Amino acid sequence: MKRLLMLVATVVLTLSVSQVFAADREAISKNVDAMVTAIDGGKTATDFAADAYTPYVFIMDGTGKLLVHPKLAGKDLKEVAKPIYDALQAATPAGIWVQYQWDGKEKNTYAKKTKNNLTVASGY
């Protein structure tokens, strides 16, 4: 009986965590999509504050320079985080989830291109 209860508890916890990630993914993609729409409508990248969102967002120009980031704004992502830069090269105007390893952990980031070739991204 204890084993059955532990199995049920494990299944319930796993399903709950999966739903949380799905909700987080939906919230993340909505934030990024809204920012891309705003930029495509005339706002500038610097109209956005990276830490106004949870998780934070970042915006990179076509050369790899971070225009918006809580700590690395102005830095070249190719130089400070090449694996992230490489993963973000898959970004499209339709938006895409990319995965990469950072600090020994798998990261999942939603990235989307603006009309003027900026990449807006956020993830966990």
pLDDT in tens, 90-116: 999 999 999 999 999 999 999 999 999
Please check whether residue 96 lies inside any domain of the structure: yes
Please check whether residue 3 lies inside any domain of the structure: no
Q: pLDDT value at position 32? A: 98
Tokens encoding 93: 């105007």
Please check whether residue 92 lies inside any domain of the structure: yes
Mean pLDDT value across the chain: 87
CATH of the domain at 77: 3.30.450
**95: domain range?**
29-123
Per the DSSP assignment, residues forming a β-bridge with 119 are 60, 113
- In whole angstroms, how far apart are CA 56 and each of 12, 14, 50, 59, 120? 29, 25, 5, 10, 11
pLDDT in tens, 18-65: 334 556 999 999 999 999 999 999 999 999 999 899 899 999 999 999
Q: pLDDT value at position 20? A: 45
How many folded domains does the chain comprise?
A: 1
Q: pLDDT value at position 14? A: 40
Q: pLDDT value at position 2? A: 57
Please check whether residue 45 lies inside any domain of the structure: yes
Half-sphere exposure of 69 (CA within 13 A, CB side): 19
Please check whether residue 119 lies inside any domain of the structure: yes
Q: pLDDT value at position 111? A: 98
Q: pLDDT value at position 21? A: 54
Please check whether residue 22 lies inside any domain of the structure: no
The rounded distance, in Å, linking the Cα atoms of 110 and 28 is 7
Given a contact cutoff of 8 angstroms between Cβ atoms, the answer to whether 100 and 110 are in contact is: no
| pLDDT > 70 fraction of the chain, expressed in percent and rounded | 81
Please check whether residue 23 lies inside any domain of the structure: no
Which residue from 76, 75, 24, 32 is spatially nearest to 50, judged by alpha carbons? 32
Please check whether residue 16 lies inside any domain of the structure: no
pLDDT in tens, 49-61: 998 998 999 999 9
